[in-house]
Amino acid sequence: MQAAQEVRVGIAGFGAIGKAIARRLDAGIPGLRLAALGVRDAEKARAAHAFATPPVYTDIDHLAEHCDVVVECAPAALLPRIATPVLKAGKKLMVLSSGALLMNEDLVEVARAHGGQIVVATGALLGLDAVTAAAEGTINEVRMVSRKPPIGFAGAPYVVKNGIDLDAIKTPTRIYTGTAREAATGFPANLNVAVSLSLAGVGPDRTILEIWADPTISRNIHRIEVDSEEAKLSMEIQNVPSENPKTGRITALSAVAALRKMAAPLRIGT
């Protein structure tokens, strides 16, 4: 029997998360190959890391031509530009900026029309398998409490609009309560975890979220409570921030794990 072909992986964006994923792929994962990077400045990207097997350097508009699956690691505003050519080519797109999906729901129809697929990686969250299972039954309520050091919310539109002085926060302070949909707009670089949870469960308008700026912690902490007819779930994860304080280190590892599943002969999890 012929062995399965290796999966050609492209990465859109070469920031902290994109670099971490690229290095893992370059180090070698059976069945996967880093085929291309979609970047603004190819020379700068080449200088940032010496790959054992250099990928193709291109822009995000032409990334799909070189790949079977593209991992989106770019600013949320670029999602439509990254996603459209990938999905129209009938290929897979792994989305890390899941909050941007709520502003670009038409991308699901593009995927359906052309045989593409959007994959939302678990990211800095846990328990999504259990939540998706519970959603096959009846979920009554989903709540999430997220805590980050104040610096992790720097530049968030909600913070800027409401004039929240993050430097003045000296004790744990709740800065937001509302739905996951509203949070996706107000904290586009921070709360992809909440949107992923909502998409797995009862949707962004029924998933309730609290956000705390907490100067007493050094990790990004997310606690989830799910009340369903089939099970009650209570989960907490404490993520070590990456080079980008808005994102946990485990986000890149989650993407790598999801990619590994695409090529593995044995797949664990939903």
What CATH code is carried by the domain that includes residue 151? 3.30.360.10
Q: Calculate what percentage of the chain has a pLDDT beyond 90.
A: 74
Catalytic hit among 49, 66, 114, 222:
222
Q: Is residue 107 part of a domain?
A: yes
Find the helix packing angle between 79-88 and 106-114, rounded to 10°: 20
Note whether residue 146 is domain-resident: yes
Give the residue-averaged pLDDT of 3-20.
Answer: 90
Does 104 share its domain with 174?
no
- Ranges 135-149, 163-177, 245-259: which has the least confidence: 245-259
pLDDT at 206 over 80: yes
Query: In the prediction, which pLDDT does 2 show?
Result: 40
Which CATH number characterizes residue 42's domain?
Answer: 3.40.50.720
214 domain-assigned: yes
Q: What is the pLDDT of residues 59-86, one digit of tens each?
A: 999 999 999 999 999 998 999 999 999 9
The yes-or-no answer on residue 222 being catalytic is yes
With respect to residue 2, please indicate whether it lies within any of the assigned structural domains: no
Centroid of chain to Cα 201: 16
**pLDDT per residue as tens digits for the range 187-200:** 987 778 888 999 99
pLDDT at 14 over 70: yes
One domain for residues 111 and 11:
yes
Q: What is the pLDDT of residue 1?
A: 36
> Residue 103: is its pLDDT beyond 60?
yes
Residues 256 and 203 placed together within one structural domain of the fold: no
Same domain for 147 and 103? no
Task: Answer yes or no: do 152 and 81 share one domain.
Answer: no
Count of domains for the chain: 2
Q: Could you tell me if 207 and 255 lie in one domain?
A: no
User: Looking at residue 154, what is its pLDDT?
Assistant: 93
Residue 269, domain member (yes or no) = no
Judged by DSSP in three states, 65 sits in helix
Q: What is the mean pLDDT of residues 173-191?
A: 90
What pLDDT, on a 0 to 100 scale, did the predictor assign at position 246? 67
**Which structural domain range is residue 79 located in?**
7-123+250-263
Answer yes or no: do 41 and 118 share one domain.
yes
Note the pLDDT tens digit of each residue in 104-158.
Answer: 999 999 999 999 999 998 877 778 888 999 999 999 999 999 999 999 899 999 9
Whether 31 and 71 map to the same domain: the answer is: yes
Residue 72 to residue 231: CA distance in whole angstroms: 33
Q: Is residue 256 one of the residues assigned to a domain? A: yes
Query: Are 34 and 80 in a shared domain?
Result: yes
What letter would DSSP give residue 216? T
The verdict on 140 and 221 lying in the same domain is yes
- Across the chain, what does the average pLDDT equal? 92
- The answer to whether position 141 is within a domain reads yes
Question: Do the domain assignments include residue 270?
Answer: no
Contact by Cβ (8 Å): 39, 74: no
Mean pLDDT along residues 24-31: 95
163 and 58 in one domain?
A: no
| Token reading at 66 | 């070189």
pTM: 0.87
Q: Are residues 110 and 133 in the same domain?
A: no
* Selection from 151, 149, 131 nearest residue 141 by Cα: 131
Judged by DSSP in three states, 47 sits in: helix
